[in-house]
Each structure stands twice: as structure tokens, then as C-alpha cells.
């Protein structure tokens, strides 16, 4: 990697200040960023670690019953601390990578990175969560803007993610055999006012909501309601691990399984 300065502030304000420097970059768990640096694909002037900021750590239940996850909370912490309050989210976090990755990688890093095959974007969009930053609140529906692209401005920090807790939810992840990211992952959440279905891994536009399926499930919440429904293969990713048609097919299968798991 190229050389860089390293800072580890203990407050959000100090982190924001440090990130104001030209080409400074936030460091979460480093599970994406460090490999990128090692390959010399990025050359930040400074890395500002967010792991020392206590107000960005941990899982708590807010007054309205929603579950709030600090932006620097590791996947392992979510897997254990959200197990009772939001089991489907905890299960999602528990399926990310391996123990080493889960004990370093953070929700803020995952959501900010918006890898098209990452798990959290599906959980966040499927839950209709709110992304809180040092300057504002962004609804999940407005946050994800396509592969590796989000509504975040330069230097903006995800301080927490607030999840409304659904009546039932399930994350169904079909593993890409090599990376074990999602070849297709479907996060389905059933709220009193409707069903949300978010799909990751599949689309060239990154995580997306499958609105036809949501409508069908709002009418009848059963796997059979999805009969004959398919996403358009045109926009799907095609690579070594699966064709467009295969991914489109998996979206249907994983959605049905999520419905079955919630029924």
C-alpha cells in the first residue's frame, strides 16, 4: 500500500474535522478498504478510524421500539445484541463472511460501500431503515444509488442506522460459492402496513425492492402468491457464478423461502 497518515478520534466531531482534510477517508473495520489499499487501488492521504468513537458503538432499542445500530458496530455485535430485538437482522449479520470478518467489519462500512452483493443493504432497504449521518437522516429508499454508490457526501459519516422492527422478517441468502457473499439475497419484512422485499446480489443496479412481489404479498401473504412472478432478467448480473436467468430465478426462489420462513 501507499503510505498514509492515521488518526483515531474519539468523538464524531473530531472525526468529521479529520475527514475534512483533502483525500482523507473513513476507516470502519477495514475489511473492504484495507484489501483495496494493499492492491494500491486507493491512495488516501489519511485514514480516520471510527472504531474509537463510543457513541457509534452498539445496539439499542429506541423509545418508539425501533432498533438502532451504531455506525461502527461490528457484524458480530449485531449478531449477538440484536438477537432478541430484531432476530432477522441479527441472523443476517451472523451470515456475513467468517468470524474474523464479522469481528472487524461494521454496518457503517458495509452500507457506505454498497457492494452489489453485500447483505446489509438488503436488510436496510428491506426494513425501510433510516441512515443517520453527522448531518442528516436519509431514508433507505433514497440512500442506495446503484452499485458502490450512495447518497453520502464526501466526508459524511454514518453514525447509526435505525431499523423499525417488523412483525416478521427473514433474510434468505444464496451463497456465491467462492466469496460467499450473496449470489442472491432476499430480505423480506412484514409490517402492519405492508410487506417490503429487498434483493441484493442480483442486479446491476445494486440492491433493489421487488415491488411486484410486495404487491402480491400484500394481497395474499403466502409463497403461492408469488407463482408466476419473475424479476426481469435483463438487469441481472451475469458472471462466472450465474447467468442473468439463473439470478432472476433465484430471486423468486429466495423470496418464496423468505415468505415461508415468515409464515
Partner 1 sequence: MPKDSGIGASSKRREDVRFLTGAGNYTDDINVHGQAYVFFLRSDIAHGRLKSVDTSAAEGMPGVVKVFTGKDFEGVGGMPCGWEVTDKHGAPMQEPPHPILAQGKVRHVGDPIAAVVADSLEQARDAAEAIDVDIEELTAVIDMKAAAQDGSTLVHDDLKNNICYDWQLGETDDAKVDEVFANAAHVTTLDLVNNRLVANPMEPRVAVGEYKRGTDEYTLYTTSQNPHVIRLLMCAFVLGLPEHKVRVVAPDVGGGFGTKIFHYAEEAFCTFAAKACNRPVKWTSSRTEAFMSDAHGRDHVSKIELALDAENNFVGLRTNTYANLGAYLSTFSSSVPTWLHGTLMAGNYKTPVIQVNVKAMFTNTVPVDAYRGAGRPEATFQLERVVDKAARELGVDPIALRRQNFVTQFPYDTPVALTYDTGDYNGTMDKLEAAADLAGFAARRAQSEANGKLRGLGINCYIEACGIAPSNIVGMLGARAGLYDAATVRVNATGSISVMVGAHSHGQGHETAFPQVVADMIGIDESMVEIVHGDTSKIPFGMGTYGSRSLAVCGSAMVKATEKVIEKAKRIAAHLLEASEADIELKDGQFSVAGTDKSVAWGDVTLTAYVPHNYPLEVEPGLEETAFYDPANFTFPAGAYACEVEVDPETGQVSVEKFTAADDFGNIINPMIVDGQVHGGIGQGIGQALLENCAYDENGQLLSASYMDYAMPRADDVPFYGVDHSSQTPCTHNPLGVKGCGEAGAIGSPPAVVNAVLDALNSGGKAVDHIDMPVSPSRVWAAMNG
Burial class (CB in 10 A: 0-12, 13-18, 19+), 207: buried
Q: By CB under 8 A, is residue 39 in contact with partner 1?
A: yes
Q: Which of partner 1, ligand FAD, none does residue 236 bind (CB under 5 to 8 Å by kind)?
A: none
| Number of residues lying near partner 1 (CB under 8 A) | 18
Q: Does 73 bind ligand FAD (CB under 6 A)?
A: no
**Rule CB under 8 A: is residue 40 a binding residue for partner 1?**
yes
- How far apart are the C-alpha atoms of 60 and 58, rounded to whole Å? 7
Beta bridge partners of 182: 175
Residue whose CB is less far from partner 1, 3 or 84: 3
The residue assigned the cell 474519539 is 10
Among residues 178, 192, 228, 234, which is the contact residue for partner 1, using CB under 8 A?
178
177 binds partner 1 (CB under 8 A): yes
Q: How near is the Cβ of 41 to partner 1 at its closest, in Å?
A: 12
Rounded Cα distance between 78 and 19, Å, is 26
Which part of the chain contacts ligand FAD (CB under 6 A), choosing from 23-31, 60-68, 160-168, 230-238? Answer: 23-31
Determine if 109 is a binding residue for ligand FAD (CB under 6 A). Answer: yes
Q: What are the residue ranges of helices labelled H in the chain?
A: 12-19, 33-38, 75-81, 87-94, 99-102, 107-113, 120-127, 140-143, 211-219, 244-262
DSSP code string of 81-103:
HTTTT-HHHHHHHHTSS-HHHHT
From the list ligand FAD, partner 1, none, pick the one residue 142 interacts with, judged by a Cβ distance below 5 to 8 Å according to partner type.
none
Binding residue (CB under 8 A) for partner 1 from 4, 97, 249, 261: 249
What gap in Å lies between CA 79 and CA 141, rounded to an integer?
Answer: 24
Give exposure, 98-116, as e/b (b: 16+ Cβ within 10 Å).
Answer: eeebbebbbbbbbbbbbbb
68 touches ligand FAD by CB under 6 A: no
Q: Which of 112, 125, 259, 262 binds ligand FAD (CB under 6 A)?
A: 112
| Chain center to CA of 262 | 20
Question: Residue 72 is placed in which grid cell?
Answer: 461502527
Task: Please select the residue that binds partner 1; options are 86, 143, 163, 174, rule is CB under 8 A.
Answer: 174
Q: Which of residues 128-187 bind ligand FAD (CB under 6 A)?
A: 157-158, 180-181
- Minimal distance, residue 40 CB to partner 1, in Å: 7
> Does 50 interact with ligand FAD (rule: CB under 6 A)?
yes
Tell me 207's DSSP state.
Answer: S
Do 71 and 162 contact (CB within 8 A), yes or no?
no
Residues making contact with ligand FAD (CB under 6 A): 25-33, 50, 71-72, 96-97, 101, 104-106, 108-110, 112-113, 115, 118-120, 157-158, 180-181
Residues that bind partner 1 (CB under 8 A): 1, 3, 39-40, 174, 177-179, 183, 239-243, 246, 249-250, 253
Amino acid at each position: 500500500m501507499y503510505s498514509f497518515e492515521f488518526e483515531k478520534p474519539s468523538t464524531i466531531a473530531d472525526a468529521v474535522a479529520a475527514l475534512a482534510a483533502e483525500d482523507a477517508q473513513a476507516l470502519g473495520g477495514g475489511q473492504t478498504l484495507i484489501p483495496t489499499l494493499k492492491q494500491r487501488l486507493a491512495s488516501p492521504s489519511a485514514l480516520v478510524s471510527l472504531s474509537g468513537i463510543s457513541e457509534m458503538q452498539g445496539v439499542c432499542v429506541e423509545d418508539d421500539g425501533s432498533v438502532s445500530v451504531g455506525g461502527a458496530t461490528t457484524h458480530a455485535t449485531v449478531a449477538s445484541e440484536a438477537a432478541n430485538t430484531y432476530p432477522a437482522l441479527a441472523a443476517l449479520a451472523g451470515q456475513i463472511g467468517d468470524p474474523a470478518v464479522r469481528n472487524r467489519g461494521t454496518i457503517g462500512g458495509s452500507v457506505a460501500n454498497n457492494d452489489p452483493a453485500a447483505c446489509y443493504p438488503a436488510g436496510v432497504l428491506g426494513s425501510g431503515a433510516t441512515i443517520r449521518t453527522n448531518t442528516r437522516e436519509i431514508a433507505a429508499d433514497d440512500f442506495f444509488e446503484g452499485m458502490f454508490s450512495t447518497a453520502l457526501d464526501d466526508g459524511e459519516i454514518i453514525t447509526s442506522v435505525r431499523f423499525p422492527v417488523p412483525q416478521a422478517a427473514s433474510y434468505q441468502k444464496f451463497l456465491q460459492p467462492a466469496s460467499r457473499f450473496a449470489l442472491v439475497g432476499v430480505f423480506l419484512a412484514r409490517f402492519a402496513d405492508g410487506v417490503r422485499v429487498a434483493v441484493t446480489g442480483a442486479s446491476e443496479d445494486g440492491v433493489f425492492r421487488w415491488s411486484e412481489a410486495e404487491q402480491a404479498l400484500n394481497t395474499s401473504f403466502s409463497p403461492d402468491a408469488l407463482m408466476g412472478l419473475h424479476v426481469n432478467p435483463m438487469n441481472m448480473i451475469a458472471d462466472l457464478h450465474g447467468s442473468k436467468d439463473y439470478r432472476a430465478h433465484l430471486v423468486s426462489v429466495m423470496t418464496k423461502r423468505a415468505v415461508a420462513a415468515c409464515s
